[in-house]
Amino acid sequence: MSRDRLDGSDKKHLVVEVLLLPGRILLWIGYMFPGKGYGKVRQTARHARSPIMTIAYSAMFWVFIIYYVVNGGI
Protein backbone atom coordinates (compact mmCIF):
# COMPACT_ATOMS: atom_id res chain seq x y z
CA MET A 1 0.00 0.00 0.00
CA SER A 2 1.39 3.40 -0.93
CA ARG A 3 1.59 6.38 1.36
CA ASP A 4 0.73 9.96 0.52
CA ARG A 5 3.45 11.27 2.80
CA LEU A 6 7.03 10.14 2.92
CA ASP A 7 7.30 10.72 6.67
CA GLY A 8 4.22 8.59 7.37
CA SER A 9 2.52 11.18 9.55
CA ASP A 10 -1.22 11.75 9.71
CA LYS A 11 -2.87 14.97 8.60
CA LYS A 12 -3.07 17.58 11.32
CA HIS A 13 -4.56 21.03 11.77
CA LEU A 14 -4.12 23.44 8.83
CA VAL A 15 -1.68 25.66 10.76
CA VAL A 16 0.59 22.71 11.53
CA GLU A 17 0.44 21.58 7.91
CA VAL A 18 1.52 25.04 6.70
CA LEU A 19 4.36 25.18 9.24
CA LEU A 20 5.65 21.74 8.20
CA LEU A 21 5.24 22.27 4.45
CA PRO A 22 8.73 23.75 3.81
CA GLY A 23 10.40 20.78 5.50
CA ARG A 24 8.36 18.31 3.50
CA ILE A 25 9.22 20.11 0.25
CA LEU A 26 12.95 20.28 1.04
CA LEU A 27 13.06 16.62 2.05
CA TRP A 28 11.10 15.59 -1.04
CA ILE A 29 13.55 17.44 -3.30
CA GLY A 30 16.45 15.71 -1.54
CA TYR A 31 14.67 12.36 -1.87
CA MET A 32 14.08 12.81 -5.59
CA PHE A 33 17.63 14.06 -6.33
CA PRO A 34 19.88 12.28 -3.79
CA GLY A 35 23.27 12.60 -5.47
CA LYS A 36 25.76 9.89 -6.26
CA GLY A 37 26.48 6.84 -4.19
CA TYR A 38 24.51 4.33 -2.22
CA GLY A 39 25.21 6.06 1.09
CA LYS A 40 23.75 9.35 -0.12
CA VAL A 41 20.63 7.59 -1.39
CA ARG A 42 20.12 5.82 1.96
CA GLN A 43 20.72 9.03 3.91
CA THR A 44 18.18 11.08 1.96
CA ALA A 45 15.64 8.24 2.18
CA ARG A 46 16.06 8.05 5.98
CA HIS A 47 15.68 11.80 6.31
CA ALA A 48 12.61 11.92 4.08
CA ARG A 49 10.88 9.18 6.09
CA SER A 50 11.55 10.80 9.48
CA PRO A 51 8.92 13.06 11.06
CA ILE A 52 11.66 14.51 13.29
CA MET A 53 13.70 15.59 10.25
CA THR A 54 10.56 17.15 8.76
CA ILE A 55 10.19 19.26 11.90
CA ALA A 56 13.92 20.09 11.96
CA TYR A 57 14.05 21.19 8.31
CA SER A 58 10.86 23.24 8.72
CA ALA A 59 12.21 24.93 11.86
CA MET A 60 15.47 25.82 10.11
CA PHE A 61 13.53 27.23 7.17
CA TRP A 62 11.28 29.40 9.35
CA VAL A 63 14.20 30.62 11.49
CA PHE A 64 16.04 31.66 8.33
CA ILE A 65 12.96 33.45 6.93
CA ILE A 66 12.28 35.30 10.20
CA TYR A 67 15.95 36.30 10.50
CA TYR A 68 15.96 37.54 6.90
CA VAL A 69 12.77 39.58 7.35
CA VAL A 70 13.80 41.07 10.73
CA ASN A 71 17.18 42.17 9.41
CA GLY A 72 15.67 44.11 6.52
CA GLY A 73 16.18 41.59 3.75
CA ILE A 74 12.77 42.23 2.23
Domain count, the chain: 1
Q: How far apart are CA 7 and CA 50, in angstroms?
A: 5
Residue 42 lies in a domain: yes
Residue 37 falls in which region: left (phi positive, over 0), alpha (psi -120 to 50) or beta: left
Residue 40 lies in a domain: yes
pTM reported for the whole predicted model: 0.78
Cα 47–49–50 angle (5° rounding)? 65
Give the Cβ contact number of residue 61 at 10 Å: 17
24 against 10, higher pLDDT? 24
Tell me: pLDDT of 5 over 70.
no
Over residues 29-66, the pLDDT tens digits come to 888 888 888 888 888 888 888 889 999 999 999 999 99
Mean pLDDT on 12-40? 87
**Domain membership of residue 24 as a residue range:** 14-70
Q: What is the pLDDT of residue 67?
A: 93
Q: How far apart are CA 66 and CA 58, in angstroms?
A: 12
73 against 1, higher pLDDT? 73
Residue 8 lies in a domain: no
What are the phi and psi torsion angles at 11 (to 5°)? Answer: -70, 145
